Structure 1
């Protein structure tokens, strides 16, 4: 694969990752949907698909293994942060006034 094709392949992978970031970030604005099974299924499917694309790019030598794993790790971190924010918001019990 020539240098131009490698650059194009990397750009496509980054665009696909950005689409998943956008999906996750849109859910941050609507935390009530974070527990939605359909959202979880879509994100899981997209992450799985992207991980397969990244594995293929690594095998072709288009992408370094560390860089590929970092793309997935960054997405997973973003997703975990969104879920953490959701659960903090929905599992924090209000304190009662004047008592234990």
Structure 2
């Protein structure tokens, strides 16, 4: 398999993962709280979509299965960090009021 094509496929998956993190940050900053069903629905939908992209790339031989799993795990950790940071900020703001 063309190494450049494999690199491009993985880079696109990384870009999609970064887009999900940015989307979650915007949603938390402007729209909803993490406990909101809309937040959970958006997160679940985006994560599911990316997992399907990863599975497709793995089946085509463009991405190693382990690399795909690591990408999804990294995204879950990043989303968790964003969530935790938001919750800490909310606690600080509620103490100030």
Please report the TM-score for the alignment, with normalisation by the length of structure 2.
0.72
Number of paired residues?
94
Taking a change above 3 Å as real, the CA distance of residues 11 and 28 of structure 1, as seen in their structure-2 partners, is same
Number of the residue aligned with 1:35? 35
Larger helix fraction of residues: 2
Structure 2: distance between partners of 1:87 and 1:81: 10
What's the offset of the Cα at 1:24? Answer: 2.7
* Structure ID, larger Rg: 1
Number of the residue aligned with 2:46? 46
Please report the TM-score for the alignment, with normalisation by the length of structure 1.
0.70
Structure 1: distance between partners of 2:90 and 2:39: 18
Number of the residue aligned with 2:20? 20
Residue ranges of structure 1 left out of the alignment (5+ in a row): 95-100
CA RMSD, 1 decimal? 2.7
Structure 2: distance between partners of 1:15 and 1:85: 22
Residue ranges of structure 2 left out of the alignment (5+ in a row): none
Structure 2: distance between partners of 1:77 and 1:19: 15
Number of the residue aligned with 1:8? 8
Number of the residue aligned with 1:57? 57
